[in-house]
Amino acid sequence: MPRRATSAAGKPRATARLSKDGIVAAAVQLADREGLAGLSMRRLAQHLEVDAMSLYYHVRDKGTLLAAMADAVVASIATEKPAVAPAGIDSVAAVDGLWTDRLRALIMQARRTMLRHPWAARVLAERDTPTPAVLAHLERMLAVMRDGGCSLDLCHHAIHLFGSRILGFGQDLFDDAPAGTPTPADGQAQAFAATMPHIAELAAAVTHDGALGGCDDDGEFAFALDLLLDGLERRRLAA
């Protein structure tokens, strides 16, 4: 554990006015502005105008900081302002009908939060265990499903089925976003089209912004979410 940073007069430096919540909030702001590549303990200390060593009294290391940052982002999902949308379908508070509409609204709330903090999706995807805020978000989802008449078995399947979509982002097999897709020379493209015509046809017809990962633009996310919800409702009715 690093020793307390002191000034030349032997008095504590800015450590005393720091708090873990304040450090995490500042780190979230820094990551929002500069991405994870621009986040380091030294850079964060400069942002806070404190000695870098003083941060370690509140967060053990960068990994601990990243976990706290992701937890703070997920916790903010519950306070996300409802979107202005037709029939209020993206507002949990406004939906008083089908459980599928309420669950869709909750997941879309999560997506709006992730889009404001795009780095958080990567941090959450790399974690092996859920943070407290992730568990709280999952609890809200399960409450909607159980109130809607879903069995425990169907809820269990749904959690596996949704995967990262629970938190507002989807991970695909590979990233087909334009920036990550190499453009073959004309001769290579013709050869590719001859041997794999269906893939070539699909690649030429679609593009994706990939805001939070490969094939993760808003249209693809909503399309997959609606299919999953429709399927779960059919299973619930058939039970």
Task: Give the CATH number for residue 113.
Answer: 1.10.357
Per-residue pLDDT of the chain (239 residues; tens, 9 = 90+): 444 444 444 434 455 468 999 999 999 999 999 999 999 999 999 999 999 899 999 999 999 999 999 999 999 999 876 665 444 444 454 445 789 999 999 999 999 999 999 999 999 999 888 889 999 999 999 999 999 999 999 999 999 889 899 999 987 655 555 544 445 555 556 666 777 777 667 667 666 666 666 566 778 788 889 999 999 999 999 98
Q: Is the pTM of this model over 0.85?
A: no
Please tell me the predicted confidence (pLDDT) of residue 86: 40
pLDDT at site 87: 42
Same-domain pairing of 43 and 90: no
DSSP result, the chain: -PPPPB-TTS-B-GGGG--HHHHHHHHHHHHHHH-GGG--HHHHHHHHTS-GGGGGGT-SSHHHHHHHHHHHHHHGGGGPPPP--GGGTT-TTT--S-HHHHHHHHHHHHHHHHHHSTHHHHHHHT-SS--HHHHHHHHHHHHHHHHTT--HHHHHHHHHHHGGGGGT----SS---GGGS----HHHHHHHHHHSHHHHHHHHH-----TTSTT-SHHHHHHHHHHHHHHHHHHHHH-
- Shared-domain flag, residues 31 and 113: no
Domain that holds residue 27: 14-60
For residue 227, being part of any structural domain is answered with yes
Q: What pLDDT score was predicted for residue 85?
A: 46
Find the CATH number of the domain harbouring 41. 1.10.10.60
Co-location of 119 and 231 in the same domain: yes
Whether residues 106 and 47 share a domain: the answer is no
Q: How many independent structural domains does the chain possess? A: 2
